[in-house]
Chain A
Amino acid sequence: MIPNPFAVLGLPERPDLDDETVRTAWRAIAAATHPDRADGGDLARYTQASAAYAELRTPWSRSEAYADLVEQAWRTGRHDDYGLDPDGTEPLPAVPAATRLPHRAVSPLGLLLAAAWFPDRIRRGRPLRLLIRAALAAGLSLGVLALIPGQPAAPADVGLLITWFVLTGRRDLAPPPER
């Protein structure tokens, strides 16, 4: 595993690079260092670049490599490198805070507490997407109410829009805490 495959290919450390950018970077290095070149190339550099390309070839593997770098930065305290919030919670510290096993049961209070997490879940999720969805659902609902006011179909249409919003929007929330 290469410590930083982005650096090997001379790419910015970002998970949203496209395939073509990565491939172009690799081809440029491969063309300059290939061992079949007349000057013998640079086998070590070529091998390293090929390995880095293998790690960054797909969007999925790029996000994996990026996540590894972020974790590494966190461990070494380099919060500023990736815009990490030192007071944040991810990645988690290496030691636990709790020292005893609490007994928990589902209760109305627990459900209320779960609801109280919502602002944080929105903030830590994808708030922009959620906002767009909410704006779309609200705009369409207003359109429905304006176009067919007082009709029985209006609340049903709004209900459909709310169903769509709930079913799709929940993925944009951060998951509730595990403990």
Chain B
Amino acid sequence: MTTWSWIRLTAGLWLLRKAAKGTRWLLAFAVLIAAWPLTLIVLAGYLAACWRGWPAVRLRRVAVWTLTGTALWLIAQVIYHHAWRAAALTAVRAWEPGWPPRLAPLTAVRAFLLLAPATVPAGLGLAAAAWAWRKFAISAGLSGITASAPVKFDARQWRRQVRTAQGLTRAPGAVPLLARGGRIPVGGTIRTVGHRWDPVFSLPATALTRHMVIVGATGSGKTNLMIRLWAGWFTATLQAARAGRGNRPLLVVLDCKGGRDARDKADRTRRLLYGAGARRVAIWPDEARLSLWDLPAQDLAVLLYQMIDTGTGAAAYYADIMQAVLTLAVTAPGSPPDNAAAFLDRLEAKWLARAWNDGRHRREANLVHAAAGQLPDIQLRFATLLERLGPALDGPGTLADADAWYFILEGMREPSVAQAQAMALTELAAHAAAAADGEPRAILLAADDYSAVSGRVPLSNLYERGRSLGIGVQVSAQSWPGLGWDEDERYRIAATADGGIFVMHTPYPEPLTQLAGTRRVLETAHNLIGHHWGNGGTTRLQRASVADPDIIRRLDVGQACYIHHGAATFVQVARPKPSPLTLLPPPAQPTIRVPTPRDEPAAGPWPDSPPATPDLDDIFGPGTAP
């Protein structure tokens, strides 16, 4: 073969290839022109999806909705032509006047309208397929002109998705407090990875009856999210109760940071809950009280013991004495103490001796005698503790008195007091859940910034108790380290959050995003020629985070990532607002009953005689010993 013939052969083959490619394009172009009504719909759908940042599934769903028009059209055709065959050929007949495409606008519009019932669903379906392919090709590196195309495409789509989601949250009727099926709308969906996509992201109310974690830095919109979830859960549970499908709700919120912001938040929560139908929302300690002394005697003794710092080593000896004394004081014959003053009275040697010296409790009487030397110290410690706790736990009042309780604990100002209060309140909530005598309630215990008070009751304990009692626990923290004292506890809390994890803007989301796992993605490596891709390259299967930590670090105010079941949804949280139609006449006088403190009882009842329980000796006489 001569050089010239080789050149001719090469050039000929090149031309042939180009001609084949050109013919393909020409054919495709001809088909697009021939089916111009369909092409227009495909183009419009594709551009709308690209511009609005929609996923392909949205176009598919719209296509399905528009099939109603197609069905109507076919029915009308059958009625019009009185024959199925004629109806089947309608599309062809309608297309004929539109071909060849004419410049006469009216004719073209008429042809378009005649075909629209068929072309709209078909076009939207094709647009969905084209858009899905485009996204796949770009993300897999199979498409795009420059090497940075996937990055730029993703960033652009994120901006558009955010804009669309924000627009949706501004619409008055898009994100109500409660949606159909008892679902709790959270906000406009920005992006989903693995979850089903819906324009408005919503959770089933049952997700809040399990355990949920919310992590977000200050100013990330965490409060709005939590209040929305509380109000949504309350509304859903109350409506279910009204329909006879469950118990009345009892929302218990522990605001563990306290301060002025907590009061504002409590006020917002209260107004939302009243809008949702709550009859009483109590704010503790400002407007309502609870009685710690309503707990069963044994539980009360354990709780009082735990509320005091006891220490280890040599101090353990005194801790044992204290525990024994508390048990003696609280479980003394008769009834347990009903207020702090009565309890402190019982921590005196004389009182305890009279209570237990009835001849039937020799062991207890001996214990009182042995611990007599320590009693003044123990009494002093508890007097100090109860004084610091204040009167708000001294009653009267029970959790059942209100539909929702908002507890404000001054965890920043007085951490040790707040810790003791948190212990008492969680114990009361647990008691309310387990009480067999009262009305059963569906309970959600929400702890905002619980790490501020989790000194003596680790959060994992709270979780475990909630799980065993069947109450939902929702915990929020400002960061991953704020979730627990050590890495083990943090992982225990996050890994057991079967209601899902909301991650908002936070600088260190990796431990949480790891829980969402990874997904398989295609990674294509191209050889680069300058700034452009060449023809060669390889594609391999890689793993990428389901919840991208870099996106979470860049989340704006009000944006959150919901991680659940190895999938993630990015959402623009909507500000919780009640429906403006929730008409409530302004009351003339506040109807909240602020319980008045009970009068301090007189000096404690000193048991000066054996208990009144009748003994056989009282009835038959002492008799004679054998």
Interface residues of A (CB under 8 A from B): 1, 54-55, 58-61, 63-64, 67, 71, 75, 88-106, 117, 120-121, 124-126, 144, 147-148, 151-157, 159-160, 163, 167, 170-179
Contacts and interface: CB of A to CB of B under 8 A. Distances in A.
5 contacts: A61-B557, A99-B279, A99-B591, A155-B76, A156-B117
Contact of B106 (A91, A103, A125, A147): A147
B69 A97 contact: no
B625 interface: no
A85 B105 CA distance: 50
A178 B66 contact: no
Interface in B338-390: none
Contact of B235 (A91, A147, A178): A178
Interface in B536-591: 556-558, 572, 575, 577-587, 590-591
B623 interface: no
Given A152-B77, A177-B579, A61 B558 contact: yes
- Chain A to chain B: the 7 pairs with minimum beta-carbon distance, closest first: A156-B73, A175-B176, A152-B76, A179-B277, A156-B117, A171-B171, A160-B69
A115 to B, nearest CB: 13
A85 to B, nearest CB: 10
B623 to A, nearest CB: 60
B68 interface: yes
Contact of B582 (A103, A126, A144, A177): A177
A120 B581 contact: yes
Interface stretch (B268-276, B316-324, B481-489): B268-276
Interface in B156-188: 166, 168, 170-174, 176-178
Contacts of B66: 160, 163
B557 A172 contact: no
B281 to A, nearest CB: 8
Interface of B: 65-66, 68-70, 72-73, 76-77, 79-80, 90, 94, 106, 109-110, 113-117, 120, 166, 168, 170-174, 176-178, 219, 221, 224, 235, 239, 241-244, 248, 261, 267-268, 270-272, 274-280, 556-558, 572, 575, 577-587, 590-592
B242 A174 contact: no
A94 B271 contact: yes
A177 B581 contact: yes
Given A71-B268, A153-B117, A60 B580 contact: no
- DSSP majority for the A interface? loop
B69 A163 contact: yes
A91 to B, nearest CB: 6
Contacts of B114: 148, 151, 153
B69 A159 contact: yes
Given A96-B274, A178-B578, A103 B173 contact: no
B219 A54 contact: yes
Nearest to B185: A175
B132 to A, nearest CB: 21
Contacts of B575: 63-64, 67
Which interface residue of A88, A104, A121, A179 has the most chain B CB atoms within 10 A?
A: A179
B170 A63 contact: yes
A168 to B, nearest CB: 10
Which interface residue of B68, B69, B556 has the most chain A CB atoms within 10 A?
A: B69
B271 A124 contact: no
Nearest to A144: B113
B558 A117 contact: no
Contacts of B113: 144, 147-148, 153-154, 157
B584 A89 contact: yes
B58 to A, nearest CB: 11
Which interface residue of A67, A91, A95, A104 has the most chain B CB atoms within 10 A?
A: A95
A172 B94 CA distance: 36
A163 B117 CA distance: 12
Contact of A174 (B73, B178, B581): B581
A98 B116 contact: no
A103 B572 CA distance: 35
B248 A91 contact: no
Contacts of A58: 556-557
A125 B267 CA distance: 25
A67 B578 CA distance: 13
Contacts of B582: 89, 92, 177-179
B25 to A, nearest CB: 33
Contact of A125 (B73, B173, B178, B556): B173
Given A99-B591, A105-B243, A153-B94, A94 B270 contact: yes
A95 B587 contact: yes
Contact of A153 (B68, B115, B586): B115
Given A148-B113, A174-B580, A155 B275 contact: no
B177 A94 contact: no
A144 B261 CA distance: 57
A101 B250 CA distance: 14
A147 B109 contact: yes
B68 A157 contact: no
A158 to B, nearest CB: 9
B586 A93 contact: yes
Which interface residue of B65, B90, B578 has the most chain A CB atoms within 10 A?
A: B578
Given A58-B557, A153-B115, A173-B172, A93 B274 contact: yes
Contact of B579 (A63, A101, A176): A176
A178 B116 CA distance: 40
Contact of A152 (B79, B171, B172, B242): B79
Given A60-B166, A179-B275, A90 B577 contact: yes
Given A152-B77, A153-B73, A171 B168 contact: yes
Which interface residue of A94, A155, A173 has the most chain B CB atoms within 10 A?
A: A94
B172 A167 contact: no
Contacts of A88: 580
Contacts of A96: 274, 277-280, 584, 591
Given A92-B272, A179-B275, A60 B172 contact: no
A155 B106 CA distance: 19
A59 B159 CA distance: 13
A172 B172 contact: yes
Contacts of B244: 103, 105
A75 B268 CA distance: 11
A97 B592 CA distance: 10
B72 A156 contact: yes
Contacts of A105: 242-244
B590 A177 contact: no
Given A88-B580, A124-B580, A153-B113, A64 B271 contact: no
Contact of A101 (B110, B174, B248, B275): B248
Which interface residue of A152, A155, A159, A170 has the most chain B CB atoms within 10 A?
A: A152
A64 B248 CA distance: 32
Given A97-B585, A105-B243, A174 B579 contact: yes
Nearest to A86: B586
B270 to A, nearest CB: 6
Nearest to B274: A96
Contact of B581 (A91, A124, A171): A124
